[in-house]
Amino acid sequence: MRKTYFIADLHLSESRPHLTQLFTDFMQQRAPEAEALYILGDLFDFWIGDDESSPLIESVRNHIRRLTEKGVACYFIHGNRDFLLGEKFARSCGMQLLPTYQVINLYGTDTLLCHGDTLCIDDVNYQRFRRKVQQKWRQKLFLCLPISLRLKIAARIRLQSGRDKKNKPAQIMDVNPDFVRQTFEQFHVERIIHGHTHRQNIHRIAPHFTRIVLGDWGETASILEVNQEEYLFRRE
């Protein structure tokens, strides 16, 4: 049976080795059954440039490369954490980078794929942060710094962001329903698949729109399988 997998928000880091194990299991056992794997952002908890190397990064690189060498197409949309992941890393594992919004025809249904952060327009502070770090000149400047300094800056930004998050109401961290409707119409799709909010769910929105939200990975993996007949979440 033809099938496609979607994952997002693994937030892999050296500090949570259990997640890397879940990813490794998925890449070896499930992923090879698919014709395609879409990673919809925040595969890594942070990313400071393709020139950084670590046992974690090399392990992920090898697993993706082994998968693409088996003939499984692998696509990546940036998340808000790993937005600096570049062509160099992608090429080294045979993975294709996609733009912020990508429409695909998925077994007959026009489907919009995105990470999901751009749908959360009520989180004004985050959107301001995003506009800043998305500026090309800022990214170029950051990437010119030595890795050790980038790591320090990134750690400090994460520390500050963790503090800010504690004072944020849950509502503004979710998607904006009106903006979601507009997005369906703008892209002429009846289905959107995204992650980011960590609120795994399938929302049926009148009249005929479906928004599928991927879950984050924690105790278990969260995998969306889509085939010619149905879509279903796997937690394993």
Annotated binding site for substrate: 80-81, 123, 161, 165, 168, 196
Residues that bind ligand OKV (CB under 6 A): 46-48, 80-81, 84, 126, 129, 133, 138-139, 141-142, 153-154, 157-158, 161
Residues that bind Mn ion (CB under 5 A): 42, 79-80, 196
Tokens of 9: 């928000």
Q: How far is the CB of 34 from ligand OKV (least distance, A)?
A: 28
Select 93 or 114, whichever has its Cβ closest to Mn ion.
114
Closest C-alpha to 213, from 127, 122, 115: 115
DSSP 172-225: GGSPPHHHHHHHHHHHT-SEEEE-SS---EEEEETTTEEEEEPPPPSSS-EEEE
Select 145 or 205, whichever has its Cβ closest to ligand OKV.
145
Tokens of 18: 């259990």
Q: Which residues are annotated as a binding site for Mn(2+)?
A: 9, 11, 42, 80, 115, 196, 198
Tokens of 228: 């010619």
Select 107 or 142, whichever has its Cβ closest to ligand OKV.
142
79 binds, among ligand OKV, Mn ion, none (CB under 5 to 8 A by kind): Mn ion
42 binds, among Mn ion, ligand OKV, none (CB under 5 to 8 A by kind): Mn ion
Strand pairing category for 73-76 and 96-97:
parallel
47 binds, among ligand OKV, Mn ion, none (CB under 5 to 8 A by kind): ligand OKV
Q: What angle do CA 79, 135, 212 make, to 5 degrees?
A: 25
Element containing residue 131 per DSSP (H, E) = helix 124-134
147 binds, among Mn ion, ligand OKV, none (CB under 5 to 8 A by kind): none
Q: Which residues are annotated as a binding site?
A: 9, 11, 42, 80-81, 115, 123, 161, 165, 168, 196, 198
175, 179, 180, 184: CA torsion to nearest 10: -160
Select 5 or 76, whichever has its Cβ closest to ligand OKV.
76
Which residue has the closest beta carbon to Mn ion? Answer: 196
C-beta of residue 90 within 8 angstroms of C-beta of residue 210: no
Q: How far is the CB of 87 from ligand OKV (least distance, A)?
A: 16
Q: How far apart are CA 188 and CA 204, in angstroms?
A: 16
Select 126 or 231, whichever has its Cβ closest to ligand OKV.
126
Q: How far is the CB of 8 from Mn ion (least distance, A)?
A: 8
